[in-house]
Amino acid sequence: MAPGEGPLKVAVLAGGRSSEHDVSLSSGAAVREGLLAAGHEVVSVQIDRAGRWRHEGEGEPLSLTPGAGVLQADVVFPVLHGRFGEDGTVQGLLEMLGVAYVGSGVAASALCMDKVLFKELMAAAGSVPQVGYVDVQEQAFAGPARQELLERVMRLGLPVFVKPSHLGSSVGIVRVTTEDELAGALESAFAYDARVIVEAAASGIEVECGVLARLAGERADGNQAHAQASLPGEIVFDGDFYDFEAKYEPGGMELRVPARISDAAAAQVRDLALEAFARAGCDGLARVDFFVDGEDVLLNELNTMPGFTPTSVYAKLLEASGVGYPEVVDRLCRLALERFAEVSSRAF
């Protein structure tokens, strides 16, 4: 079915093998309701923690055949967070199945899931200010470079944040306030990932910005920008940093839109969000996170499939910017169909 031609049959993928399995199930349920409100037919596919695909929750196992799509759906909405879902793996599978799917493709998904590679790409641009960081790989840390790596990290100053490079939702993050804690924090992070990023603490407030791509028809109407950036939102929370509990526990955080920053800083946040989205080769949607201190804006990271739970930030940012939830999920499906049609028209 061509983009914009009536209701669609959408397969919503949720669950997955990552530590964000339960968050994904909540996101998938919300996306399902949004798609139904937009007038679409929805079929649900749940991926259990072992990676098995089942149609409609705990129903029959789902068999997949290359080139045969997924349950005759027009488009797949992979509401999957973290590894084996947001990192290019499922995107590659959907490419092999020959089906349109929501969100970024294989390369952008894999790149943005790796916090180190994403920061290196942004650094290469030369125009994107970022938080200071050190890349620490487990094999190097276990060898003669151990002391040199510890010294490089300490040059960032304390406190620092030790993060597994390929996880989201603040899973596995440790805030280090003394030199004695550093080696243990790194070893703890290696339990999740062989590559760890250590980031300097940034002053100011946490600000997030949603990016939503534009349909071809919108661009044809004279708006040449390929995506729109939401109003920036300010994350307000108790505690030392924006951890898993603050993100997902009721009352753990407050989102203030618009953020309490200057007009100039807000414009810079939106411009940098669009630049990061474009440079990383993203499609469909993203949430881009920043630290803002006065007029200083630092890019933190980009999430290619942000949470869609009732407490998640992305949908609230778009709603505050004039795009309601059903319209967001509808547009993402139409964008997926546009990209699939464009890619399919090219010679392989």
- DSSP state letters, 33-51: HHHHHTT-EEEEEEE-TTS
Q: By CB neighbour count within 10 A (0-12 exposed, 13-18 middle, 19+ buried), where does 217 fall?
A: exposed
Q: Does domain 110-128+203-337 have CATH number 2.60.40.1220?
A: no
Integer Cα distance of 107 and 102 in angstroms: 14
Q: Could you confirm whether 307 is annotated as catalytic?
A: yes
Confidence grade of residue 68 (pLDDT, cut at 50, 70, 90): very high
Q: Decide which of 58 and 296 is more confident.
A: 296
In the predicted structure, residue 222 carries a pLDDT above the cut 60: no
Predicted pLDDT at 1: 37
In the predicted structure, residue 331 carries a pLDDT above the cut 80: yes
Of 74, 114, 193, 301, the active-site residue reads 301
133-200 CATH fold: Dna Ligase; domain 1 (3.30.1490)
Of 303, 321, 330, 339, the active-site residue reads 303
Tokens of 170: 């603040």
Confidence grade of residue 220 (pLDDT, cut at 50, 70, 90): low
Of 86, 114, 289, 330, the active-site residue reads 289
In the predicted structure, residue 144 carries a pLDDT above the cut 80: yes
Alpha helices in 38-178, H assignment, sequence order:
89-97, 106-113, 115-125, 138-141, 146-154
Predicted pLDDT at 247: 53
Q: Could you confirm whether 101 is annotated as catalytic?
A: no
Predicted pLDDT at 87: 94
Predicted pLDDT at 171: 65
Predicted pLDDT at 72: 96
90 torsion bin: left (phi>0), alpha (psi -120 to 50), beta (else): alpha
Of 20, 193, 206, 338, the active-site residue reads 20
Q: Which of 34-38, 215-219, 236-240, 344-348 has the lowest mean pLDDT?
A: 236-240
Q: Could you confirm whether 172 is annotated as catalytic?
A: no
Tell me what the pLDDT averaged over the chain comes to.
91
Would you say how long the chain is, in residues? 348
Predicted pLDDT at 149: 96
List the chain domain ranges: 9-102, 110-128+203-337, 133-200
Of 28, 34, 105, 307, the active-site residue reads 307
Q: Could you confirm whether 262 is annotated as catalytic?
A: no
For the beta carbon of residue 343, count every other beta carbon within 10 angstroms. 12
In the predicted structure, residue 242 carries a pLDDT above the cut 60: no
In the predicted structure, residue 298 carries a pLDDT above the cut 60: yes
Q: Which of 12-16, 49-53, 238-242, 287-291 has the lowest mean pLDDT?
A: 238-242
Predicted pLDDT at 217: 82
Of 133, 192, 242, 248, the active-site residue reads 248
Integer Cα distance of 75 and 337 in angstroms: 7
Confidence grade of residue 2 (pLDDT, cut at 50, 70, 90): very low
SS3 (DSSP) at 237: strand
Q: Does domain 9-102 have CATH number 3.40.50.20?
A: yes
In the predicted structure, residue 246 carries a pLDDT above the cut 60: no
Confidence grade of residue 310 (pLDDT, cut at 50, 70, 90): low
Q: What is the mean pLDDT of residues 18-39?
A: 94
Say which residue the tokens 């007038």 belong to: 39
Residue 233's beta-bridge partner residues?
208
Q: What is the mean pLDDT of residues 60-76?
A: 94
Integer Cα distance of 206 and 269 in angstroms: 11
Of 44, 165, 169, 230, the active-site residue reads 169
Integer Cα distance of 115 and 137 in angstroms: 13
Q: Could you confirm whether 56 is annotated as catalytic?
A: no
Percent of the chain with pLDDT over 90: 80
Predicted pLDDT at 320: 96
Q: Could you confirm whether 105 is annotated as catalytic?
A: no
Q: Could you confirm whether 5 is annotated as catalytic?
A: no
Longest dimension (CA), the chain: 62
Predicted pLDDT at 122: 96
pLDDT in tens, 159-183: 999 999 987 645 678 999 999 999 9
Q: Could you confirm whether 287 is annotated as catalytic?
A: yes
Say which residue the tokens 């037919």 belong to: 41
Predicted pLDDT at 38: 96
Range list of β-strands (E), the chain: 9-15, 41-47, 53-55, 75-78, 100-101, 133-137, 160-164, 174-176, 195-200, 205-213, 227-229, 233-237, 253-256, 285-293, 296-303
On whether the CB atoms of residues 239 and 260 are closer than 8 A, the answer is: no
